[in-house]
Amino acid sequence: MDKRPHLRVADVFRSGWKEYGGTRRVAHRLAQVARHILECRTSALGGRLHRCDACGAEVPLYNSCRDRHCPTCQTLRKQRWLEQRRAEVLPVPYFHVVFTLPHALNPLIMANRTRLLGELFGTVNWVLQHFAADPQWKLRGQLGFIAVLHTWTQRLTAHYHLHCLVAGGAWNEEENVWRGAHSRYLFGKEALASAFRARFMRRLESLRRRGKLRFAGEASPLAQPAAWDALVRRLRDTKWIVYPKATAGTPEQTLDYLGRYTHRVAISDHRILAVRDGRVTFAWRDRADGNAEKKLTVPVTDFIGRFLLHVLPKGFQKVRAYGWLAQRHKAAALAAIRAHLGAAAPPPAPPGGETAPERVLRLTGVDVTLCPVCKAGRLSRVGELPRARDGPA
């Protein structure tokens, strides 16, 4: 049984936000995300008052902030998203392919987040589709895949990489043919990594020539030609990491697998172990030590800074679909591929007319109508709770 305290990332922000914000200039976008996390499920957002029909307890249920960076808000959003994807899964093998940018690029990415993270998506799509069309790999068609951006390590440092869930086969629309991949093999790992490095470097140098890159001030070493050339040489000499592997299980299990990545934020609430004396302790897994779980204690202000490092630019899409899974192609392509495979039609959509508690129960297994006081009675709404004038402390 998990004995961990019921702490949230919001508790860390509540403990140290005044100190953090009072000692440095915080960009509006970051302050906005911090405010949402601080206010989530508190009186600041208002809510509804419920009463138990058994013990009579009155239970306030406050509204969620719905910010995509808030770990408390992701479970229902993830389940809704996965439910929409169920009709898109095919009875074929699937592959999980991870593309990672070298850490030497981190300072440049921080100064050009929207542009270079967008280039990461575009490069990965180009590489995968190029391999799928190349007769060498025997697919000779177009892939359909979903790419999910992650920007963090378990210790909340910068680590830019894409998780791609790729259907094991390619669709050739002109020939009306689906060519399936081997159940355990998609493309060569080293070949993918070499192509990834070459393509991204070409794009990077093109951006530099056209003056499309920003630097952290004119004093930044990278603004100087010699330092730029040194970075380029370093990147060309670095082994870029691409890791493709087959996923295991049924299409339903594949969906669950995908759900681990789509709505994950830098750190989840359950990893917060303690907040006291201006310091926070959180759990992390050490990949270099057999994935062993360890603890790290840092000042609260340091934790907040690490967390905010992973706030994405406003409007930036962290989950994208490509190939025949792209929105403009998806419906026609899926119907044609299923017909070619002789696959059954997707399951019907859930019935309409669900109440909010019924939807939460179906998607998450949590019964929000059960009284948290007596654990037996049912809650019913008896009133509205307006937004509090003053936010959480």
* DSSP string computed for 42-69: SGGG-EEEEEETTT--EEEEEPP---TT
Q: Residue 365 has what pLDDT?
A: 79
Cα distances (angstroms) measured from residue 158 to each of 28, 103, 217: 21, 8, 20
* pLDDT tens figures, 181-191: 998 999 999 99
Instruction: Supply the CATH classification number for the domain 90-266+309-341.
Output: 3.40.1310
Residue with tokens 């000499």: 237
Q: Residue 393 has what pLDDT?
A: 45
Q: Locate the domains of the chain by residue range.
A: 90-266+309-341
pLDDT, mean of residues 212-241: 87
Q: Residue 218 has what pLDDT?
A: 54
pLDDT, mean of residues 316-339: 95
Return mean pLDDT, the chain: 91
Separation CA 362–CA 352 (nearest Å): 13
Separation CA 16–CA 304 (nearest Å): 8
pTM: 0.91
pLDDT exceeds cutoff 80 at 256: no
* pLDDT tens figures, 49-81: 999 999 999 999 999 999 999 998 888 788 888
